[in-house]
Amino acid sequence: MSALLKYLVPFALGVAVLAAWQGLVRFYQVPVYLLPAPSDVWAAFVASFPELMSALWVTLRIVVAAFVIAAVSGVFWAILFAQSRVVEMALYPYAVALQVTPVVAIAPLIVILVGFDRIDLALLIIAWIVAFFPILANTTIGLRSADSNLTDLFRLYGASRWQILWRLQLPSALPYLLGALKVSGGLSLIGVIVAEFVAGTGTDTGLGWTITQAMRNLEIAKMFAALGLLALFGIALFAALSALEFALLHKWHESALKKQGGEFSSG
Amino acid sequence: MTSMNKAFLLSLSAVSKRFENGTQALAGLNLDVADGEFLSLVGPSGCGKSTALRLIAGLIAPDGGTVRFAPAKPETAFVFQEPTLMPWANVLTNARLALDLEGVRRGEAEQRAAEALKRVGLGGFEHAFPRELSGGMKMRVSIARAVAAKPKLLLMDEPFAALDELARQSLNDDLLTLWREDGLTVIFVTHSVYESAYLSTRVAVMSSRPGHIAAEIALEQQATRDESYRLTPQFSDAARRISAVLKESAV
């Protein structure tokens, strides 16, 4: 299948669905407060453009910040876990507890603890909670998955802990970490939106709040516009992380290699 | 024990090793290795050959007995059955590993690694990644990595077992060249009678349950061994002797 076709097919499908949506809504004269036509959504998007953009900016900032903090702290703790079984034994159950407790349930507590005057910080913490664990769990496994013979070889050559970590364990963990980043990117977005739903308005207004407000005012077209923007943002985040993954892995990792037609020699 | 002209390099006496699962891998293992010899450890699978090699490398400690070096543990390299390369690093970086870990300056390390790669016939492949190489070529990188740091002692754990016959024979010859040129001491674990007969100056046959040395066979030291050696009476005689002892000890 050619590269052009790969993009053309889903694009054509999208256009067809939008056209059918537009046609059906107009044909059956569905009221705009139930299901707006794509043209209504577009009109709402253009009309509320400055408001939507500023809301996107608020959400985006927190998502990216929470994601980066989750990535850095997740890798940091994974390294500690990989260095010491005792540290892992002591802390892992709590990391799991943090993960399995539904974030919607913790969110109000965090908002109260942090205070309504610092909603941004509350959103950041909530998004961090959901994005942190996949990075911690996967990176820990990745660090431990270093080839045992290679580890022996490093020891034989008198490698320090630091050399083993930097030259062997971290590169071995890289595919696991990058997989986790793709999951956590989406999760931090979900985390911020859920937190906005729970927290209500803060000093700034993000996309999550825009959506709840639009729903209350029955501005369904604007709600769709905000939803579309969220989806685009999520896709862009995923695409950026996939590009990062490809850049770092395509030269050596199986997951990024093209299948060589029926060739077994490269075992 | 055969008389050796050369100095003794390492000595295992009454070594025993039990694994955590309770298996007695080695018991009463005695083995002296002379400087500069090419010693093959031959035996059925599960007889503790690899365990003995890892003990010598210092990767595991014996439960009983001693592993002594004279005078001190020499610079040691290890080649596994798998090439065991870092997939994320190119051939040159893989070959540089021991030098990098020892803190050799980058420029010098690269030069020495490139030299080692040339010696195993991989000149020009410095920037290839392991996945782009055949099994035999990967094993050559593994050997280049081992000799790049100019070790005194080279430990090899069935390094060519997974290769096809042609690649194996060609690697056998290259290994003999490296052994001669660098004055290496090689301890070579194999289950192939013919490989041990071709390569070694001495063969130690191991017997299992628990692993110990059942017999030692000194082979004639020929100045050069090449393909034609495989057709000589000395070679078939050596193979026959190893085979006989192996069968005896397996009963």
**Residue A257 banded pLDDT, cuts 50, 70, 90:** low
Three-class SS state of A56: helix
Q: What values do phi and psi take at B188, rounded to 5?
A: -120, 115
CA-based torsion, A78, A79, A84, A87: positive or negative: negative
- In 3D space, the residue among A224, A190, A194, A238 whose CA is nearest the CA of residue A48 turns out to be A224
Note the pLDDT of residue B5: 52
* Contact at CB, B98 and A167, closer than 8 angstroms: no
| pLDDT band of B60, cuts 50, 70, 90 | very high
Cβ atoms of B49 and B196 closer than 8 Å = no
Residues of B in contact with A265 (CB under 8 A): 134-135
CATH number given to B8-74+152-250: 3.40.50.300
Q: Which residues of B touch A170 (CB under 8 A)?
A: none
DSSP A62-81: HHHHHHHHHHHHHHHHHHHH
pLDDT tens, B217-235? 888 776 677 778 888 888 8
Contact B59 A155 (CB under 8 A): yes
Contacts of A165 in chain B (CB under 8 A): none
A152–B98 CB contact, under 8 Å: no
> How many angstroms separate the CA atoms of A243 and B230, rounded?
55
Chain A within 8 Å of B250 (Cβ-Cβ)?
no
**B133 three-class SS:** coil
Cβ(B250)–Cβ(B205) under 8 Å?
A: no
Superfamily for the A24-29+37-250 domain: MetI-like (1.10.3720.10)
Contact between B88 and A167 using a beta-carbon 8 Å cutoff: no
Chain-centre distance of CA B163, in angstroms? 16
| pLDDT value at B17 more than 70 | yes
Place of tokens 């056209």: A19
Q: The tokens of A107 are what?
A: 């969110």
B164–chain A Cβ distance below 8 A for any pair: no
Chain B residue at shortest CA distance from A163: B101
Query: What is the domain partition of chain A in residue ranges?
Result: 24-29+37-250
Q: What is the mean pLDDT of residues A58-76?
A: 96
Q: Which two tokens mark A56?
A: 């996107």
**What's the number of CA atoms in the CB half-sphere (13 Å) around residue A36?**
19
Under an 8 A CB cutoff, do A156 and B76 touch?
A: yes
In this predicted structure, the answer to whether residue B251 has a pLDDT above a threshold of 80 is no
Q: What is the pLDDT of residue A56?
A: 95
Answer whether A154 sits within 8 Å of B101, measured CB to CB: yes
CA A81 to the chain's CA centroid: 24
Which of A147, A156, A163 best tests the B interface by mutation, with the highest count of B CBs <10 A? A156
Nearest-by-Cβ selection for B59 from A156, A167, A254? A156
Q: Is the CB of residue B58 less than 8 Å away from at least one CB of chain A?
A: yes
Report the complex ipTM.
0.91
Nearest CA to A253 among A181, A183, A178, A185? Answer: A178
Q: Which of A95-99, A186-190, B86-90 has the lowest mean pLDDT?
A: A95-99
pLDDT on residue A201: 60
Residues B182 and A57: their CA atoms lie apart, in Å, by: 65
Angstrom distance (rounded) from CA A70 to CA A65:
8
A265 closest CB neighbour out of B98, B101, B134: B134
Buried b (16+ CB within 10 A) or exposed e, A189-211: bbbbbbbbebbeebebbbbbbbb
Q: What is the pTM of this model?
A: 0.86
Residue of B nearest to A155 (CA): B59
Pairwise CB contact (< 8 Å): A267 & B97: no
- Mean pLDDT (chain A) is 90
In whole numbers, what is the pLDDT of chain B averaged over residues? Answer: 90
